[in-house]
Amino acid sequence: MIDHFGIVCADLARAEDFYDRVLAELGCRRLLDHGVAAGYGSDHPRFWLARAEGEVARRETHIAFTAADPDQVRRFHAAALAAGAESLHAPRLWPEYHERYFAAFVRDPDGNNVEAVFSGGDGADG
Protein backbone atom coordinates (compact mmCIF):
# COMPACT_ATOMS: atom_id res chain seq x y z
CA MET A 1 0.00 0.00 0.00
CA ILE A 2 2.89 2.36 0.70
CA ASP A 3 5.01 3.12 -2.36
CA HIS A 4 7.92 4.54 -0.41
CA PHE A 5 8.77 6.45 2.77
CA GLY A 6 11.86 7.80 4.44
CA ILE A 7 13.37 8.79 7.73
CA VAL A 8 16.02 11.33 8.69
CA CYS A 9 19.10 9.96 10.45
CA ALA A 10 21.58 11.70 12.74
CA ASP A 11 24.40 9.38 11.56
CA LEU A 12 23.68 8.20 8.03
CA ALA A 13 26.60 5.76 7.86
CA ARG A 14 25.53 4.09 11.11
CA ALA A 15 21.92 3.88 9.92
CA GLU A 16 23.02 2.42 6.56
CA ASP A 17 25.06 -0.25 8.33
CA PHE A 18 22.07 -1.12 10.53
CA TYR A 19 19.55 -1.29 7.67
CA ASP A 20 21.97 -3.11 5.34
CA ARG A 21 22.06 -5.91 7.93
CA VAL A 22 18.46 -6.12 9.06
CA LEU A 23 16.73 -5.56 5.72
CA ALA A 24 18.89 -8.26 4.11
CA GLU A 25 17.05 -10.70 6.37
CA LEU A 26 13.78 -9.59 4.76
CA GLY A 27 15.07 -9.97 1.20
CA CYS A 28 15.79 -6.28 0.66
CA ARG A 29 19.00 -4.41 -0.05
CA ARG A 30 20.36 -0.93 -0.69
CA LEU A 31 19.45 -0.19 -4.31
CA LEU A 32 20.47 3.46 -4.55
CA ASP A 33 23.05 5.51 -2.70
CA HIS A 34 23.27 9.27 -3.28
CA GLY A 35 25.73 10.02 -0.48
CA VAL A 36 23.16 12.06 1.45
CA ALA A 37 20.37 9.50 1.00
CA ALA A 38 20.03 5.77 0.38
CA GLY A 39 17.08 3.78 -0.97
CA TYR A 40 16.22 0.19 -0.03
CA GLY A 41 13.93 -2.44 -1.50
CA SER A 42 13.80 -5.62 -3.50
CA ASP A 43 12.57 -4.27 -6.84
CA HIS A 44 12.68 -0.49 -6.38
CA PRO A 45 13.50 1.80 -3.43
CA ARG A 46 10.56 1.79 -1.03
CA PHE A 47 12.40 2.85 2.12
CA TRP A 48 14.79 5.82 2.23
CA LEU A 49 17.33 7.07 4.73
CA ALA A 50 18.47 10.69 4.56
CA ARG A 51 21.20 12.55 6.43
CA ALA A 52 19.87 15.11 8.90
CA GLU A 53 20.71 18.68 7.99
CA GLY A 54 20.94 21.18 10.85
CA GLU A 55 18.93 20.64 14.02
CA VAL A 56 16.17 18.09 13.61
CA ALA A 57 13.56 17.49 16.29
CA ARG A 58 13.77 13.88 17.43
CA ARG A 59 10.50 12.01 17.26
CA GLU A 60 10.13 8.27 17.22
CA THR A 61 8.89 6.87 13.94
CA HIS A 62 7.27 3.45 13.75
CA ILE A 63 8.18 1.41 10.69
CA ALA A 64 6.78 -2.07 10.01
CA PHE A 65 8.46 -4.18 7.35
CA THR A 66 6.68 -7.21 5.87
CA ALA A 67 8.30 -10.60 6.48
CA ALA A 68 7.60 -13.72 4.41
CA ASP A 69 7.36 -16.03 7.43
CA PRO A 70 8.07 -16.19 11.17
CA ASP A 71 11.65 -17.33 10.56
CA GLN A 72 12.35 -14.10 8.66
CA VAL A 73 11.02 -12.17 11.66
CA ARG A 74 13.41 -14.07 13.92
CA ARG A 75 16.38 -13.48 11.58
CA PHE A 76 15.52 -9.77 11.35
CA HIS A 77 15.47 -9.53 15.15
CA ALA A 78 18.79 -11.40 15.50
CA ALA A 79 20.44 -9.25 12.82
CA ALA A 80 19.15 -6.09 14.49
CA LEU A 81 20.60 -7.10 17.86
CA ALA A 82 23.91 -8.03 16.21
CA ALA A 83 23.92 -4.57 14.60
CA GLY A 84 23.53 -2.92 18.02
CA ALA A 85 19.77 -2.36 18.19
CA GLU A 86 17.81 -2.43 21.42
CA SER A 87 15.19 -5.17 21.54
CA LEU A 88 11.77 -3.73 22.30
CA HIS A 89 9.87 -7.02 21.84
CA ALA A 90 11.33 -10.39 20.92
CA PRO A 91 9.67 -12.35 18.09
CA ARG A 92 6.27 -13.69 19.14
CA LEU A 93 2.61 -13.91 18.23
CA TRP A 94 0.56 -10.79 18.96
CA PRO A 95 -3.03 -12.09 19.20
CA GLU A 96 -4.21 -8.67 20.33
CA TYR A 97 -3.62 -7.54 16.71
CA HIS A 98 -4.92 -10.77 15.16
CA GLU A 99 -4.36 -14.49 15.64
CA ARG A 100 -1.62 -14.78 12.97
CA TYR A 101 0.31 -11.55 13.69
CA PHE A 102 3.91 -12.64 14.37
CA ALA A 103 6.31 -9.76 14.92
CA ALA A 104 9.45 -8.44 16.57
CA PHE A 105 10.24 -4.82 17.46
CA VAL A 106 13.63 -3.11 17.86
CA ARG A 107 14.91 0.43 18.39
CA ASP A 108 17.23 1.48 15.55
CA PRO A 109 20.35 3.71 15.98
CA ASP A 110 18.22 6.87 15.69
CA GLY A 111 15.62 5.76 18.24
CA ASN A 112 12.94 4.64 15.79
CA ASN A 113 10.64 1.71 16.58
CA VAL A 114 11.25 -0.79 13.77
CA GLU A 115 9.13 -3.92 13.34
CA ALA A 116 9.24 -7.00 11.14
CA VAL A 117 5.83 -8.64 10.82
CA PHE A 118 4.41 -11.78 9.29
CA SER A 119 0.60 -11.67 9.05
CA GLY A 120 -0.10 -14.83 7.07
CA GLY A 121 -0.13 -18.54 7.58
CA ASP A 122 -1.56 -20.24 10.61
CA GLY A 123 0.90 -18.81 13.14
CA ALA A 124 1.48 -22.30 14.53
CA ASP A 125 5.22 -22.06 14.03
CA GLY A 126 5.42 -18.85 16.04
CA angle 102, 103, 107 (to 5 degrees): 175
Number of structural domains the chain divides into:
1
> In this structure, is residue 125 part of a structural domain?
no
What's residue 124's pLDDT?
43
Whether residue 92 lies inside any domain: the answer is yes
Contacts of the segment 42-49: beta carbons below 8 A, 24+ positions apart: 45/4, 46/2, 46/3, 46/4, 46/5, 47/4, 47/5, 47/6, 47/19, 47/23, 48/4, 48/5, 48/6, 48/7, 49/6, 49/7, 49/9, 49/12, 49/15, 49/16, 49/19
pTM: 0.76
User: Which positions of the chain have pLDDT values less than 50?
Assistant: 122-126
30 lies in some domain = yes
- For residue 123, being part of any structural domain is answered with no
Domain that holds residue 99: 5-53+60-118
CATH for 13? 3.10.180.10
In a domain, 124, yes or no: no
In a domain, 18, yes or no: yes
In a domain, 75, yes or no: yes
Asked if the structure places residue 96 within a domain, the reply is yes
pLDDT at 64 (0 to 100): 92
pLDDT at residue 123, as a whole number = 43
Pairing of strands 29-33, 37-41: antiparallel
